Amino acid sequence: MNQIYDVVVIGAGMSGLAATIRSLMFNKSVLLLEMHSVAGGLNSYYKRGSREFDVGLHALTNYAHPKNQNKNKNKNQNQNKNALLKVLRQLRIPFEKMQLEQQKSSMIDFHYDGCTLTFSNEIELLISEIGARFPREIDNFIKLLEEINSYADDDLYRPYISAKARVAEFISDPLLVEMIFTPLLLYGSSWENDIDYSQFVIMFRSIYLEGFSKPKGGVRTIINLLLSRLKDECACSNKDDKDVLQFNKRVVELKIDRDTKDKEWKIKLQSGEVFKSKIVISTIGYQETLHLLDNKSKNVVGKLSFTESILILDRDVNYQHPKHQDTSIIFYNNNSNKKFSYQRPTDVAVDKNSAVICFPNNFGTSSERVERAESTESMVRFSMLANYDFWSNYSQKDYSMEKEKLLEETKILLDKIIQSDNQDKYKILVHDIFTPKTIYKYSGHLAGSVYGAEIKLKDGKLLPYENLYIAGTDQGFLGIVGSLLSGITIANFYVLKEQE
């Protein structure tokens, strides 16, 4: 194989697919290598019998309808920079094709303290909830909102600032601070119990000011749209998409060929096959890429991982529930002392004191939700903070036993949340549980890390290496929308620039 590609992209998750499509749009010769037989990475899907499961997707952040962009400008001055719309524009995916269904509302539930805050895709609801529960803090919260609206998040080289410390300058009630932080940490912090202030602002805007939605067909809708765009771009330049996106190709080594004038990269696969490229974009993670380079200079393995328990129930448990019939996601915390512990549990395999509980059926218009509720089945998903070491060290027997125990705990939590009575108890038709060990197996992320390293390579450069860039979670944009944006940004910056 003598071809020298313009770009080799490693990993066909969201960021790798986006980087590849953009590079193809610049007429570059691109090769996308994926170690598995399907695309999507942390956000893929699978089938159990006749049922289809999403691996990662609870919800997309950054909801914005293009029609509302101007209307909403005053609420969020950064609305015109909405990341989801930018991603769709750059990848030339029509908004309608995403078939997004909005959340009705979500809830932060500090069970131990008996305090809840409900929020939706309209910030007014959260403002009124805070006004009702924390009347002394409402003016402070409005000031925080103003600060977030005016914050410029385009300085890549800003040093880390503790968001908890910064927010405490506005809000004095520690319970409110913890409650505001809970969804933002759970959906995108690679730091334990805190988050960088720039990242906090991005997450705040994408969750509280823009909000949640979900494509009708789940993550398949997104992946199929991306694959179809990749195919179209290949067709435009007479390429076969099967040559561009190659599955079952695990990269095991990256080496720079210093003998060549342009210092080409040699990308070696597990099979022994070698490809050459001028630019490499790696989406597999910071530490994982250092391993390919055999570089032992750093230890930047991300700490935060989760278990995910998925239950299919024989009925819609929310439908007639007085408190939760409109709830799409619950950010549940039962720690005492008005605290939410966002860290890798140290002495247990799973921290059962907190969870993200997602009801995927509860997105969309009221009539769609009623229609779904009347069809028999519903799904509930639980993400809980977990420790990779426990799960990877269990014997096979203990591993299965611990998963069974987790299932029992999950049922108890579900009963607590929906206050199910035994008279008319739901039945679990199917369940599945995956652990940090599963996340490692299917994504290659060391320690099953979901949010990557604490150090983010915001300009994508993995110095001192030239023409090697990191895209995805470790570049600093998190979640599905963030990863897509990251792939686009890195391709625009380094592949397009190359062309000029």
Ligand X SMILES: Cc1cc2nc3c(=O)[nH]c(=O)nc-3n(C[C@H](O)[C@H](O)[C@H](O)COP(=O)(O)OP(=O)(O)OC[C@H]3O[C@@H](n4cnc5c(N)ncnc54)[C@H](O)[C@@H]3O)c2cc1C
Point out which residues bind ligand X (CB under 6 A): 10-16, 33-36, 41-43, 56-61, 250-251, 283-284, 306, 308, 383, 439, 443-445, 450, 472-473, 478-480, 483
In terms of CB distance, is 53 or 426 closer to ligand X? 53
CA angle 210, 225, 244 (to 5 degrees): 125
Give the Cα separation of 407 and 431 in Å (integer).
Answer: 8
SS3 of 192, please? coil
Q: How far is the CB of 168 from ligand X (least distance, A)?
A: 27
Give the Cα separation of 474 and 460 in Å (integer).
Answer: 8
Q: How far is the CB of 12 from ligand X (least distance, A)?
A: 5
In terms of CB distance, is 176 or 479 closer to ligand X? 479
Query: Which tokens go with 102?
Result: 């909005």
- Cα-Cα-Cα-Cα dihedral of 27, 29, 32, 38, to 10°? 60
In terms of CB distance, is 198 or 282 closer to ligand X? 282
Q: How far is the CB of 63 from ligand X (least distance, A)?
A: 11
In terms of CB distance, is 250 or 298 closer to ligand X? 250
- CA distances for 372 relative to 273, 365, 396, angstroms: 49, 11, 38
Q: How far is the CB of 241 from ligand X (least distance, A)?
A: 17
Beta bridge partners of 237: none
In terms of CB distance, is 308 or 351 closer to ligand X? 308
Q: How far is the CB of 458 from ligand X (least distance, A)?
A: 14
In terms of CB distance, is 302 or 472 closer to ligand X? 472
SS3 of 158, please? coil
- Tell me the residue length of the chain: 500
Q: How far is the CB of 165 from ligand X (least distance, A)?
A: 26
Among 355, 364, 357, smallest CA distance to 326 is for 364
- Per DSSP, the residues of 364-422 read S-HHHHHHHHHSS-EEEEEEEEE-HHHHHHS-HHHHHHHHHHHHHHHHHHHHHHHT--G
Q: How far is the CB of 396 from ligand X (least distance, A)?
A: 22
In terms of CB distance, is 171 or 360 closer to ligand X? 360
CA angle 369, 372, 374 (to 5 degrees): 110
